[in-house]
């Protein structure tokens, strides 16, 4: 999966670009660190970027090999990467952590200016760093967009449910004692939407409540109906119950909309994933569309990763190690790196842990050796990382005998 990077020679010219939200700064430097252009600022617009590229091209010798180094900056740098640079120019994406480390090497760790960042980008490109930017697979971008959209909606739904429970306790005290999961069941949603006023439910009675649920294609068992009606009769009235019911109705409408958006995102992911490089990962037990899509969104283009070690290290799950004067001291997980990738790997590991026989045996063995849950989860994430990388690399489906 490694990508070829053209070697740096004495004829190499570096176009360094430091991107911001509304503007960017660029410079042009040769292999001997002689500044040919800039630093010069331009607006993040199409004509301004075309003009900046033309200024850079005007000073490039006919025999020059041009490398464009762009520091990753969230999503702001992507238009620069996708720009149609002159033919033969190699566009490289630089990790912001590498640029920060290069500033530290230059003795400027606590000083961050556009000029210093351009110098750091130039030094890194001349040292051979940077990931070549090929034509990105559009499907991967779409999978990432829908997966992130779904994750945001799930987080909003969780927060909304927590707020709903507070309003429900004010509108219908004691309901959660009769029905432990109110918002996670269809019966609970029905009671919250139609009978937030306990007096109305108490007047309806058990038999008519069962009939009412049947008209909504819900089967309500008699003991559950008895508990609900009893809770309604025993409910203590509160002064803010009326306003709580109004807010509850609004939040329930929001919750319904969030459910619809999450379902829509999952439908889109189900259509996109089979067309992506990650399609074969759903052949692994416990790895459904959502789990695999979250991993794909966190990893991006698989071609940018030379191997599973780099992926695992980028997730921040690798233990920290300190060694000096022949003394070594290892510490816990660093938790540096991509949070999204770390969560995705741990989630894949949990999927294996719960569904794959060999992974279950592996986890059981670790527990018998006294390893606690966090270590077991990291070990399963490491296993999942190797499996996922191999399947994507080989475009292969999962074979249990290979990973037993």
Q: CATH number of the domain that 254 lies in?
A: 1.10.287
* pLDDT value for 296: 93
Q: 302 and 335: one domain?
A: yes
Name the domain boundary from 243, 270, 297: 270
Least confident of 271-285, 320-334, 365-379: 320-334
Q: 116 and 184: one domain?
A: no
CA 339 – CA 10 distance, rounded (Å): 40
Task: Kindly give the pairing relationship between strand 327-333 and strand 12-19.
Answer: unpaired
Q: 21 and 128: one domain?
A: yes
* pLDDT value for 272: 93
403 domain residue, yes or no: no
CA 286 – CA 349 distance, rounded (Å): 9
Instruction: Tokens 């829509």: give the residue.
Output: 264
* pLDDT value for 125: 86
125 domain residue, yes or no: yes
84 domain residue, yes or no: yes
The yes-or-no verdict on residue 240 having pLDDT over 50 is yes
Least confident of 37-41, 95-99, 124-128, 220-224: 95-99
Name the domain boundary from 94, 119, 135: 135
Q: 109 and 167: one domain?
A: no
CA 132 – CA 92 distance, rounded (Å): 5
User: pLDDT tens across 94-145, in order?
Assistant: 877 777 777 777 665 555 566 788 888 888 888 888 877 765 567 888 999 9
CATH number of the domain bearing residue 127: 3.30.420.40
User: pLDDT tens across 44-66, in order?
Assistant: 898 998 998 888 888 888 777 88
Q: 227 and 249: one domain?
A: yes
- If pLDDT is split at 50, 70 and 90, which confidence band does 324 have? very low
Q: 242 and 294: one domain?
A: no
**Total of domains in the chain:** 3
CA 72 – CA 99 distance, rounded (Å): 10
* pLDDT value for 333: 54
Q: 23 and 119: one domain?
A: yes
Q: 151 and 238: one domain?
A: yes
Nearest to 118 by CA among 104, 99, 101: 99
Q: 317 and 383: one domain?
A: yes
Domain containing 82: what range?
12-135
Nearest to 64 by CA among 11, 142, 2, 26: 11
CA 91 – CA 14 distance, rounded (Å): 10
Name the domain boundary from 85, 116, 135: 135
């Amino acid at each position: 999966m490694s990508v070829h990077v053209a070697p740096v020679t004495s004829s190499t010219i570096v176009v360094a670009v430091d991107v911001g939200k509304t503007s960017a700064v660029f410079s042009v430097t040769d292999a001997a660190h002689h500044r040919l252009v800039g630093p010069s600022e331009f607006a993040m617009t199409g004509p301004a970027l075309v003009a900046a590229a033309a200024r850079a091209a005007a000073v490039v010798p006919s025999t020059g090999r041009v490398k464009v180094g762009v520091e990753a900056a969230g999503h702001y740098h992507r238009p620069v990467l996708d720009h149609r640079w002159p033919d033969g120019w190699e566009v490289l994406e630089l990790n912001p952590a590498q640029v920060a480390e290069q500033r530290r090497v230059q003795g400027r760790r606590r000083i961050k200016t556009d000029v210093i960042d351009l110098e750091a980008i130039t030094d890194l490109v001349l040292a051979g760093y940077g990931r070549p930017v090929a034509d990105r697979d559009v499907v991967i971008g779409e999978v990432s967009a829908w997966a992130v959209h779904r994750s945001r909606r799930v987080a909003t739904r969780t927060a909304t449910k927590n707020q709903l429970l507070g309003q429900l306790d004010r509108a219908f005290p004691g309901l959660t004692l009769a029905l432990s999961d109110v918002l996670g069941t269809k019966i609970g949603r029905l009671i919250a939407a139609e009978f937030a006023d306990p007096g109305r439910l108490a007047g309806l009675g058990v038999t008519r409540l069962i009939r009412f649920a049947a008209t909504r294609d819900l089967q309500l068992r008699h003991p559950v109906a008895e508990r609900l009606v009893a809770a309604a009769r025993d409910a203590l009235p509160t002064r803010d119950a009326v306003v709580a019911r109004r807010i509850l109705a609004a939040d329930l409408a929001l919750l319904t909309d969030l459910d619809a958006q999450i379902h829509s995102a999952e439908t889109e992911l189900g259509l996109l994933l089979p067309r992506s490089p990650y399609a074969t990962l759903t052949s692994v037990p416990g790895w459904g569309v959502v789990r695999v899509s979250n991993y794909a969104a966190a990893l991006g283009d698989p071609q940018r990763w030379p191997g599973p070690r780099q992926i695992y290290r980028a997730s921040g799950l690798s233990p920290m190690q300190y060694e000096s004067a022949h003394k070594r001291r290892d510490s816990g997980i660093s938790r540096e790196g991509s949070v999204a990738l770390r969560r995705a790997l741990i989630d894949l590991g949990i999927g294996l842990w719960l569904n794959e026989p060999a992974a279950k045996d592996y986890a059981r063995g670790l527990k018998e050796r006294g390893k606690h849950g966090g270590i077991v989860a990291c070990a399963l994430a490491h296993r999942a990382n190797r499996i996922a990388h191999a399947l994507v690399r080989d475009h292969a489906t999962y074979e249990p005998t290979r990973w037993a």
